[in-house]
């Protein structure tokens, strides 16, 4: 097994509501790892905790409980307390490039900032390096003189990616990097990201609600629901033999065009009820109120993450109708 680049253990992020003793449990005890040169997809419905997971890993939110380790170093502290070298190696690309690029600076100035901060190249070589970064993402060198407002949404996102690449990171967190873009532009962005990942030997945490996208680009996939990871598996197993009812529900709703793809989809699962509030999470399995297979045990005891197949973990008392064996020492994703 490849060594881990990033390790998350029992991470929680709770936000106070203003009412005494009440918290929004945005992340509620998750564990997983990202290996070297690996793309891990983090999927789930809106409000599942995906983006909060990204921001907490990056130190933008303080961890309520648990640990995050990067290349063996504990990085559970907020970003302001992290070393410059750590910040260089960990980069994030946000969903909306329109809000992440300084409109008062041209592209060259935007790209030179990380080069200056991390002392990547001498000052007299920074403009040339900015042009090289633009070439990496398929843009013309003259773009260095343009301002974000004169660029399209896809072009702005490519600039954001180039800025993240400027520090030569080991791990990039991609928070829905194509969801705000036209469909015609999305494929170019995705292809560029995957080419760069292989070329620069980076690891990605790729956050998205687009399940079909993960089928083609992720090595492993984790699905979140109401602050917890429900299932994590290699991409092929995730789509061809999903175990958790929630995973099956999401996969069965993916539109397909080929007969073979339709045959691979699990039987359609119709969820019941509504997603509970992250402030008042019900006892037992948090999906039990929507699960058509829930039994008494599901209402009483929250399932732990267990390894059902090699490298395939599931948090469910019953998988395909079979009660899961109790195994000690297993946590979410490990």
Q: What domains are defined for the chain?
A: 4-218 (3.40.50.300), 244-323 (no CATH)
**Cα-based angle 54, 58, 64 (whole degrees, multiple of 5):** 80
Question: What's the DSSP call for residue 267?
Answer: P
The per-residue pLDDT for range 78-116, each reduced to its tens digit, is: 999 999 999 999 999 999 888 889 999 999 999 999 999
Q: 228 forms bridges with which residues in the sheet?
A: 225
Question: How confident is the model at residue 211, as a pLDDT?
Answer: 87
Q: How far is CA 107 from CA 103, 147, 156, 160, 198, in A?
A: 9, 6, 9, 10, 25
What are the residues whose beta carbons fall under 8 Å from the beta carbon of 88, sequence distance 6 or more? Answer: 118, 167, 168, 169
Q: Which residues contact 160 (CB under 8 A, 6 or more apart)?
A: 93, 94, 97, 100, 101
- What is the DSSP pairing of strand 73-74 with strand 23-35? unpaired
Rounded to the nearest 10 degrees, how much is the dihedral formed by the CA atoms of 24, 10, 84, 39? Answer: -100
Alpha carbon distance 278, 325 (integer Å): 28
Q: What does the pLDDT read at residue 191?
A: 94
Q: What is the pLDDT of residue 158?
A: 96
The pLDDT of residue 93 is 96
Residues 328 and 306: beta-carbon distance below 8 Å? no
- Residue spans of the chain under pLDDT 50: 1, 326-334
Strands 39-43 and 203-207: parallel
Helical (H) or strand (E) element with 162: helix 153-165
């Amino acid at each position: 097994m490849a060594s881990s680049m990033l390790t998350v253990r029992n991470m929680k992020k709770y936000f106070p509501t203003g009412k005494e003793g009440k918290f929004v449990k945005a992340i509620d005890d998750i564990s997983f790892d990202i290996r070297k040169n690996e793309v891990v997809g983090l999927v789930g419905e809106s409000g599942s905790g995906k983006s909060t997971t990204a921001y907490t890993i990056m130190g933008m939110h303080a961890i309520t409980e648990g640990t995050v380790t990067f290349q063996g170093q504990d990085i559970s502290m907020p970003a302001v307390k992290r070393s410059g070298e750590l910040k260089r190696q960990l980069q994030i690309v946000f969903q909306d490039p329109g809000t992440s690029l300084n409109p008062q600076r041209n592209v060259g100035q935007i790209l030179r900032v990380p080069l200056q901060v991390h002392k990547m190249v001498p000052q007299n070589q920074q403009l040339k390096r900015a042009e090289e970064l633009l070439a990496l993402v398929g843009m013309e060198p003259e773009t260095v003189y343009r301002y974000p407002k004169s660029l399209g949404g896809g072009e702005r996102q490519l600039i954001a990616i180039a800025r993240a690449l400027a520090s030569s990171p080991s791990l990039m967190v991609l928070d829905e990097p194509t969801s705000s873009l036209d469909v015609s532009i999305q494929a170019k962005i995705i292809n560029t990201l995957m080419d760069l990942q292989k070329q620069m030997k980076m690891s990605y945490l790729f956050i998205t609600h687009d399940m079909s996208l993960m089928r083609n680009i992720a090595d492993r996939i984790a699905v979140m629901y109401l602050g917890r990871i429900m299932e994590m598996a290699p991409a092929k197993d995730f789509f061809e033999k999903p175990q958790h009812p929630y995973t099956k529900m999401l996969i069965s709703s993916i539109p397909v065009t080929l007969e073979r793809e339709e045959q691979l989809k699990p039987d359609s699962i119709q969820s019941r009820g509504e997603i509970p509030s992250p402030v008042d999470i019900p006892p037992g399995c948090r999906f039990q109120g929507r699960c058509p297979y829930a039994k008494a045990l599901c209402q009483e005891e929250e399932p732990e993450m267990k390894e059902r197949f090699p490298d395939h973990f599931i948090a469910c008392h019953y998988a395909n109708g079979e009660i899961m064996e109790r195994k000690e020492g297993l946590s979410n994703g490990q």
